[in-house]
């Protein structure tokens, strides 16, 4: 009988705990949540985060605050998010670098991308564009490769940093195509792009927002996009994989929270982001910023995507011979 009474007390306590948790999730948020990101105000990721914050503010009835923590290869923002309370009131608008490539390009980090965060939702893919100076004779990927092979070491491409995605993808293109091309890293994408416009470098590997206006007005010639499929609105630009089968590398953005955040709160954030990302107007707004959303997915599918990306980029970093620093 004592054992039976004890089991009853345990069951009642568990039921009460579930009721309290459920009630907390139903009332969440009762104060303003914040979205931390690792980029400065006015950058494309910041604009995207603020679009999402505005939509979530309307959905939740609480002002969603965007907090910029730029610098340190995304480390500053990621660390701040990882050390925040796991109560659902801190979201981290993450890049591929923060959750994946920093593992392989940095010797040490003050946060663990795998253990410190729980996946919530995918936001969108961020493909790169190979764009050439108009004076370059090559107009296609095949012609660009042929020219580089005919003149080993005579060509150069501009990037926004050797350890940035443009630099990594550009180096992987060299390895895959078997060509000798010099990477010229710049401290800013604007400077890199302008030197390609002027012909001081033959082509650049950049995120679409950095080059698309120059492509449209004819100051840069589009060669290829790095996505697996041609992009809506840019259908006339072929993919690199059409010439180099399997060559498809993109950056991406995702929403994560500190590990330990209540699962029902995670589910609510995922569900609400899913509705925002399914809206045609929002899809177009992100596309105008060079972000191509395929929906929020689920926390589980997002986590599986992270795992596959860690394997994928590990091969890339090894393939180009980059050492952590």
Q: Please check whether residue 49 is in contact with residue 40, taking contact to mean a CB–CB distance below 8 angstroms.
A: no
The pLDDT score that the predictor gives to residue 26 is: 67
The pLDDT score that the predictor gives to residue 325 is: 87
* Ranges in the chain, pLDDT < 50: 1-4, 6-8, 10-11, 14, 16-21, 23
Q: Is residue 20 part of a domain?
A: no
Q: Is residue 234 part of a domain?
A: yes
Closest CA to 113 of 104, 123, 126, 103: 103
Q: Is residue 120 part of a domain?
A: yes
The residue segments making up the domain with residue 219 are: 128-242
**256 with 121, same domain?**
yes
**207 with 150, same domain?**
yes
The pLDDT score that the predictor gives to residue 25 is: 54
Domain final residue pick, 208, 242, 276:
242
The pLDDT score that the predictor gives to residue 78 is: 98
Q: Please check whether residue 253 is in contact with residue 126, taking contact to mean a CB–CB distance below 8 angstroms.
A: yes
Match 């009474």 to its residue by tokens.
5
Model confidence pTM above 0.85 = yes
If one counts the domains in the chain, the total is 2
**149 with 206, same domain?**
yes
Each residue of 165-219: pLDDT tens digit? 899 999 999 999 999 999 999 988 899 999 999 999 999 999 998 899 999 999 9
Q: Please check whether residue 292 is in contact with residue 125, taking contact to mean a CB–CB distance below 8 angstroms.
A: yes
Q: Is residue 204 part of a domain?
A: yes
Q: Is residue 5 part of a domain?
A: no
The pLDDT score that the predictor gives to residue 27 is: 87
How far is it, in rounded angstroms, from Cα 237 to Cα 4?
Answer: 71
């Amino acid at each position: 009988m004592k054992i039976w009474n004890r089991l009853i007390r345990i069951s009642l306590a568990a039921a009460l705990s579930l009721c309290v948790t459920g009630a907390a999730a139903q009332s969440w948020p009762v104060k303003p949540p914040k979205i931390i990101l690792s980029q400065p105000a006015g950058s494309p990721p910041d604009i995207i985060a603020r679009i999402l914050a505005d939509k979530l503010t309307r959905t939740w009835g609480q002002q969603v605050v965007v907090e910029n923590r730029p610098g340190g290869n995304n480390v500053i923002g990621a660390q701040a998010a990882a050390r925040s309370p796991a109560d659902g009131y801190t979201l981290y608008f993450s890049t591929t670098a923060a959750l994946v490539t920093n593992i392989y390009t940095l010797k040490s980090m003050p946060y663990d991308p795998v253990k410190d965060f729980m996946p919530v939702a995918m936001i969108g893919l961020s493909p790169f564009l190979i764009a050439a100076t108009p004076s370059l004779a090559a107009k296609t990927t095949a012609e660009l490769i042929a020219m580089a092979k005919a003149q080993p070491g005579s060509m150069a491409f501009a990037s926004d940093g050797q350890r940035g995605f443009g630099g990594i993808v550009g180096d992987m293109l060299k390895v895959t195509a078997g060509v000798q091309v010099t990477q010229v890293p710049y401290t800013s994408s604007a400077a890199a792009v302008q030197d390609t416009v002027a012909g001081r470098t033959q082509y650049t590997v950049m995120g679409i927002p950095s080059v698309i206006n120059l492509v449209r007005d004819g100051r840069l010639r589009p060669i290829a996009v790095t996505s697996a499929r041609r992009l809506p609105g840019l259908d006339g630009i072929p993919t690199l994989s059409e010439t180099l089968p399997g060559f498809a590398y993109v950056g991406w953005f995702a929403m994560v929270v500190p590990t330990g955040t209540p699962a029902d709160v995670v589910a609510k954030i995922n569900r609400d982001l899913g509705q925002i990302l399914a809206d045609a107007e929002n899809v177009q707004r992100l596309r105008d910023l060079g972000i191509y959303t395929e929906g929020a997915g689920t926390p589980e599918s997002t986590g599986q995507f992270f795992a596959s990306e860690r394997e994928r980029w590990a091969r890339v970093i090894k393939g180009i011979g980059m050492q952590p620093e």
